[in-house]
A = this chain, B = another copy of it.
Amino acid sequence: MIEFSDVSKIYGNFWAALSDINIKIDQGEFVFVTGPTGAGKTTLLRLIYRDELPTKGIVKVFGHNLTTLRKKIIPELRRQIGIVFQDFKLLYERTAYENLEFSLRVIGIPKSVIKKKISDTMERLGIGHKSDSYPFELSGGEQQKVSLARALIKDPLILLADEPTGNIDPDGAAEILNIFREINYTGTTVIMATHNTKLAKSSRKRCIALDKGNLISDGSI
């Protein structure tokens, strides 16, 4: 379903964020991407949702070679992918509720059917009481949960979560991991980037370890 073949990503002609990566992730897998700061975790995820193109090699998602994918198809690709951004990427001028609403309406889902969906998802993450708050009125962890809710709400085929617990306490992190496991059971491929090696280890899932752009291990640990 997701396939990297000899993929390198070089920024600005000399900074190799990723070097010769070969990985294959099947539908329904749960994969951690670990590594220290600057290892290339975010870059790896960005290649999957075609925010960047590889400098070398081929990235295939749903069978499409992303390098040759027609521009018009990109939105359709992204609609199948839920993304939790490391920096949240919430709209500052909309409330938590409106942020979720926006992400659904932008892909053409009519206003009438989304109300219940939004409140359910927010309740599930424990931020139901914050639905009318603007991002600047939310604590760091609450913002992260809104970003998480936005990724979950569209029932994606692939969930990409970039450091989704960086601002959340250990108990909260464990809860979120449970939610990820649940949606993984329903068939969604989950890829989670984190520097929290301990969390990754304790979950006994496949773990892709990066360092300075190199793949240093791949498999359960």
Which residues from 34 to 74 on chain A have a C-beta closer than 8 Å to any C-beta of chain B? 35-38, 41-42
Instruction: Please list 29 pairs of residues, one from A and one from B, whose beta carbons are closer than 8 Å in the complex, sorted by A's number.
Output: A11-B137, A12-B137, A36-B141, A36-B169, A37-B139, A37-B140, A37-B142, A37-B145, A37-B167, A37-B168, A37-B169, A38-B139, A38-B142, A41-B139, A42-B140, A86-B140, A86-B167, A141-B195, A163-B167, A166-B166, A166-B167, A167-B195, A168-B195, A169-B195, A169-B197, A170-B196, A170-B197, A170-B198, A172-B195
A141 with B172: CB separation less than 8 A: no
For A38, what are the chain B residues with a Cβ–Cβ distance below 8 Å? 139, 141-142
Q: Shortest Cβ distance from A134 into chain B, in angstroms?
A: 11
For A139, what are the chain B residues with a Cβ–Cβ distance below 8 Å? 37-38, 41-42
Asked if A87 CB lies within 8 Å of chain B CBs, one says yes
Which residues from 132 to 172 on chain A have a C-beta closer than 8 Å to any C-beta of chain B? 137, 139-142, 145, 162-163, 166-172
Task: From the candidates B11, B140, B197, name the one contacting A163 in the complex (CB within 8 A).
Answer: B140
Using a CB–CB distance below 8 Å, which chain A residues touch chain B?
A: 11-12, 35-38, 41-42, 86-87, 137, 139-142, 145, 162-163, 166-172, 195-198
Q: How many of these chains are in the complex?
A: 2
Question: How many Å lie between the Cα of A162 and that of B141 in the bound state?
Answer: 12
A36 with B140: CB separation less than 8 A: no
Task: From the candidates B36, B142, B198, name the one contacting A172 in the complex (CB within 8 A).
Answer: B36
Residue of B nearest to A132 (CB): B12
Most B CB contacts (10 A, CB to CB) among A140, A172, A196 go to A140
Most B CB contacts (10 A, CB to CB) among A41, A87, A163 go to A87
Which 10 A-B pairs have CB atoms at the shortest separation, nearest pair first? A37-B141, A169-B195, A36-B169, A166-B166, A86-B140, A38-B139, A166-B167, A37-B168, A37-B172, A37-B169
Question: How many Å lie between the Cα of A167 and that of B196 in the bound state?
Answer: 9
Q: Shortest Cβ distance from A154 into chain B, in angstroms?
A: 24
Q: Shortest Cβ distance from A215 into chain B, in angstroms?
A: 17
